[in-house]
Amino acid sequence: MNLSEEQLKEVEEMGGLFFSPMDIAINLELEDDDREYFVAAIECKNMNNPIVRAFQKGWLTTEVELRKAIKQSAMNGSSPSQGMMMNYQREGRV
């Protein structure tokens, strides 16, 4: 399945808004087989696939922006944001 550049941009944008892969596939009006392939590719995180890369790029770009905002809020003294940053730190340890 090949998506146009416009469709890939839409996948990236919707991924960045945290829409589910199925919702994105429905929005793109994909046929049943293509919809199943689309969802499976994203769930498997097959990064060789441009669809998956677009989805992940959108998702991660927004997540970075959110974490920056949470970090700034934590630095300004927000106790809930500080707790969230501590959770990110624990989860991110290698």
Instruction: Give the pLDDT confidence score for residue 14 in this predicted structure.
Output: 98
Residue 1 has pLDDT above 90, yes or no: no
Residue 81 has pLDDT above 90, yes or no: yes
User: DSSP alpha helices (H): ranges in the chain?
Assistant: 5-16, 21-27, 32-44, 50-75, 79-92
Average the pLDDT over 12-27 and give the result.
97
Quickly count: other Cβ atoms within 10 Å of residue 77's Cβ. 8
> Angle, to 10 degrees, between the axis of helix 50-75 and the axis of helix 5-16?
30
List the domain boundaries for the chain. Answer: 5-92
Q: What is the pLDDT of residues 38-77, one digit of tens each?
A: 999 999 999 999 999 999 999 999 999 999 999 999 999 9
Residue 6 has pLDDT above 90, yes or no: yes
